[in-house]
Amino acid sequence: MIENTQTETRPSIYGLTRDQLIEWAQENGEKKFRATQVWDWLYRKRVQSFEEMTNLSQAFIAKLNENFIINPLQQVVVQESEDGTVKYLFMLPDKVMIETVLMRQAYGLSVCVTTQVGCNMGCTFCASGILKKERDVTAGEIVSQIMLVQKYFDERGLDERVSHIVVMGIGEPFDNYEHLMNFLRVINDDNGLAIGARHITVSTCGFMPKKIKEFAHENLQVNLAISLHAPNNALRTSLMRITRNAPLEKLFEAIDYYTETTNRRVTYEYIMLSGENDSPEIAQQLADLIKPRNKLSYVNLIPYNPVAEHIKYERSTKNDTTKFYDVLKKNGINCVVRQEHGTDIDAACGQLRSKQIKKNKANIA
């Protein structure tokens, strides 16, 4: 078994926004433009060591090395799907592991990032929560996931860049709010990766409705997605235990506040589980819930990726999914059945990490 001991205490410089980097440089006796040079080396030239920053003094490079590392991740496993999806298992400095996924879409390269090591939300169908939360992933560690995926293309001389981000990997992003916001501001910065806010989607299960309200005032045009999966409290509680503390009434009060404040559309993620939440009657309940909000709503029906530890659940049949979709459309609900990615590899979020940890334990036994 891999020991969970800290081997690197310096934070990743990727965790600093440009303003924070400028402030740090000035506090350490450097001019503002020196921080701007560092930022350019990190995100435009995408170097992997401070020594490659050739227009900086050796004294400043030494100071950077003393206080920061650049990339805190180590690649452990890479799985490539026939459809072009790539799943990465990364190890953090304290030997814990996270997953990141690259998906090739018609509109560009999309990366799904992880925000926590494990998850405590307790969704009964999800592979992410099989292993409970150990810690939050820092902003620098989240940014590093993007940078290592981009490095794959840079090293091969491919003129491709990560253009879209989904924060839907392991963990609950709003349970790691401060690091999440720093991450969003780093990747959205026009002088760096310049990933457009409207190309970024953050997904939350809504465990803390007040965080949705707070997010409404961040002045970012980032997309919000809600992991809904059921249209009534009883069914949602059986699938997602957080509903006990955040019933749909509280959740939708916060969602309504968000849409009224931002005038931005909300996407509702809905995993199709055979015999659980996929009947036409349940579809009508969902339509009735969404219809008053349909102007700023979009329902994303998601085929379920079976998880060995959750043998209770199976994916809905194509016929049942079509019937469910038809009920929503007849009610005028904006909806789509999501395209699948990586079905020939460990598709469900958290599966690859769980398998690797079990493998490590078996090797030691």
Distance, in Å, from the CA atom of 113 to the CA atom of 116, rounded to the nearest integer, reads 10
The rounded average pLDDT for each run of 10 residues, N- to C-terminus, in the chain (365 residues) is: 58 98 97 97 96 97 98 93 91 95 92 95 83 94 97 86 95 97 98 96 96 97 98 97 96 98 97 97 98 97 82 92 98 92 56 52 47
Q: Per residue in 193-205, is it b (16+ CB within 10 Å) or e — as a string?
A: bebeeebbbbbbb
Distance, in Å, from the CA atom of 15 to the CA atom of 318, rounded to the nearest integer, reads 43
Distance, in Å, from the CA atom of 279 to the CA atom of 82, rounded to the nearest integer, reads 32
pLDDT given at position 282: 98
Tokens representing residue 142 in the block: 């989240």
Helix axes 318-330, 280-290, angle to 10 degrees: 40
Tokens representing residue 348 in the block: 């469900």
pLDDT given at position 131: 80
* Virtual torsion, Cα 281, 127, 338, 77, nearest 10 deg: -170
The amino acid at residue 318 is K
pLDDT given at position 95: 94
Distance, in Å, from the CA atom of 332 to the CA atom of 291, rounded to the nearest integer, reads 8
- Spatial CB neighbours of 301, under 8 Å, sequence gap ≥ 6: 270, 272, 321, 324, 325, 335, 336, 337, 338
pLDDT given at position 358: 45
Residues 118, 169 contacting (CB under 8 angstroms): no
Q: Quick one: which of 216, 134, 133 has its CA closest to 181?
A: 216
Burial tier of 314 (Cβ tally within 10 Å: 0-12, 13-18, 19+): middle
Sketch out the chain's domains with CATH numbers: 13-67 (1.10.150.530), 74-364 (3.20.20.70)
- Residue 126 annotated as catalytic: no
pLDDT given at position 365: 47
Selecting among 30, 99, 141, 276, the annotated active-site residue is 99
Selecting among 112, 119, 335, 349, the annotated active-site residue is 349
- Spatial CB neighbours of 15, under 8 Å, sequence gap ≥ 6: 138, 139, 140, 141, 143, 179, 182, 186
pLDDT given at position 360: 56
pLDDT given at position 345: 54
- Residue 349 annotated as catalytic: yes
Distance, in Å, from the CA atom of 85 to the CA atom of 110, rounded to the nearest integer, reads 10
Distance, in Å, from the CA atom of 241 to the CA atom of 121, rounded to the nearest integer, reads 7
335, containing H or E segment: strand 335-337
Q: Quick one: which of 351, 360, 358 has its CA closest to 114?
A: 351
Q: Quick one: which of 174, 196, 93 has its CA closest to 141?
A: 93
Q: Quick one: which of 139, 92, 80 has its CA closest to 345?
A: 80
